[in-house]
A and B are shown apart, each in its own frame.
Chain A
Amino acid sequence: MSNRRSLWITLASLLVYVFLYAPIVVLVVFAFNSSKTNVIFEGVVNKGPCGPFYWFCVLFKNGEVLSAARNTMTIAIVSTVASTIIGTMAALALQRYAFPAKTFSEVSLYIPIVIPEIVMGIGILVLFSALFRWLNSAFGLQGDDRLALGLGTVIVSHIAFSIPFVALVVRARLHGFDKAIEEAAMDLGADEWVTFWRVTLPIIAPGVLSGGLLAFTLSLDDFVITFFTNGPGSTTLPIYVYGLLRRIITPEVNALSTVWIFTVLAALAISQRVQREA
Chain B
Amino acid sequence: MPQFAVELRDVVKRFPGPSGEEVYAVKHVSLQIHDGEFFSLLGPSGCGKTTSLRMIAGFELPTTGAVMIHDRHMGETPPFQRPVNTVFQNYALFPHMTVGENVAFGLEMKRVPKTDIAPRVTEALRMVRLPGMEKRKPKQLSGGQQQRIALARALINRPEVLLLDEPLGALDLKLRKEMQLELKTLQREVGITFIYVTHDQEEALTMSDRIAVMSGGEVLQVGGAADIYERPNCRFVADFIGETNFLRGTVKEQKGKTTVVEVDGGITVRAESENSLAHGQSVTIAVRPEKIHLRPTSGAANAFAGRVEDLVYIGTDTHYGVRFAGDHRVRVREQNTDSASTPLARVGDEVTVSFAEAAARVLVE
Name which of B65-73, B91-99, B267-275, B355-363 contacts chain A.
B91-99
B109 touches A190 (CB 8 A): yes
| The residue from B59, B80, B92 contacting A189, defined by CB atoms under 8 A apart | B80
In the assembled complex, A156 has its CB within 8 A of some CB on chain B: no
Given A188-B109, A190-B80: A183 touches B96 (CB 8 Å cut-off): no
| The residue from B79, B90, B157 contacting A178, defined by CB atoms under 8 A apart | B90
A203 nearest in chain B by CB position: B96
Q: Closest approach, in angstroms, between the C-beta of B108 and any C-beta of chain A?
A: 9
- What bracket does the count of chain B residues touching chain A fall in? 20 to 34
In the assembled complex, B110 has its CB within 8 A of some CB on chain A: yes
A202 touches B109 (CB 8 A): no
| The residue from B78, B81, B84, B94 contacting A184, defined by CB atoms under 8 A apart | B94
B85 touches A188 (CB 8 A): yes
B94 touches A185 (CB 8 A): yes
A184 nearest in chain B by CB position: B92
Residues of A within 8 A of B105 (CB): 185, 188, 190
Residues of A within 8 A of B88 (CB): 180, 183-184
B110 touches A189 (CB 8 A): yes
Q: Would you give the 0/1 interface string for B215-236, flagging 1 where the beta carbon is closer than 8 Å to chain A?
A: 0000000000000000000000
Given A183-B79, A184-B86: A189 touches B96 (CB 8 Å cut-off): no
In the assembled complex, A187 has its CB within 8 A of some CB on chain B: yes
A191 touches B80 (CB 8 A): yes
Residues of A within 8 A of B93 (CB): 181, 184
Residues of A within 8 A of B331 (CB): none
Q: Would you give the 0/1 interface string for B91-127, flagging 1 where the beta carbon is closer than 8 Å to chain A?
A: 0111110000000011001100000000000000000
Instruction: Give bound CA distance, A185 to B106, whole Å.
Output: 8
Residues of A within 8 A of B157 (CB): 188-189
- Tell me the B150-169 residues at the A interface (CB within 8 Å): 153-154, 157
Q: Would you give the 0/1 interface string for B44-81, flagging 1 where the beta carbon is closer than 8 Å to chain A?
A: 00000000000001010000000000000000001111
| The residue from B57, B78, B106 contacting A191, defined by CB atoms under 8 A apart | B78
In the assembled complex, A199 has its CB within 8 A of some CB on chain B: yes
A180 nearest in chain B by CB position: B92
Instruction: Give bound CA distance, A183 to B92, whole Å.
Output: 8
Instruction: Give bound CA distance, A98 to B80, whole Å.
Output: 23
In the assembled complex, A26 has its CB within 8 A of some CB on chain B: no
A180 touches B89 (CB 8 A): yes
Q: Kindly name the residue among A178, A186, A278 whose own CB sees the greatest number of chain B CB atoms within 10 A.
A: A186
Given A186-B79, A187-B86, A190-B80: A203 touches B109 (CB 8 Å cut-off): no
Instruction: Give bound CA distance, A103 to B230, whole Å.
Output: 53
A202 touches B96 (CB 8 A): yes
B96 touches A187 (CB 8 A): no
Residues of B within 8 A of A190 (CB): 80, 105, 109
B94 touches A199 (CB 8 A): yes
Q: Would you give the 0/1 interface string for B316-353, flagging 1 where the beta carbon is closer than 8 Å to chain A?
A: 00000000000000000000000000000000000000
6 further A-B contacts with Cβ under 8 Å, apart from A181-B93, A188-B80, A188-B85, are A178-B92, A183-B86, A184-B92, A188-B105, A188-B106, A189-B109
Q: Which residues of A contact B (CB under 8 A)?
A: 178, 180-181, 183-191, 194, 199, 202-203, 278
Return 9 A-B CB contacts under 8 Å, by A number.
A180-B92, A181-B94, A183-B79, A185-B105, A188-B80, A189-B80, A189-B110, A191-B78, A203-B94
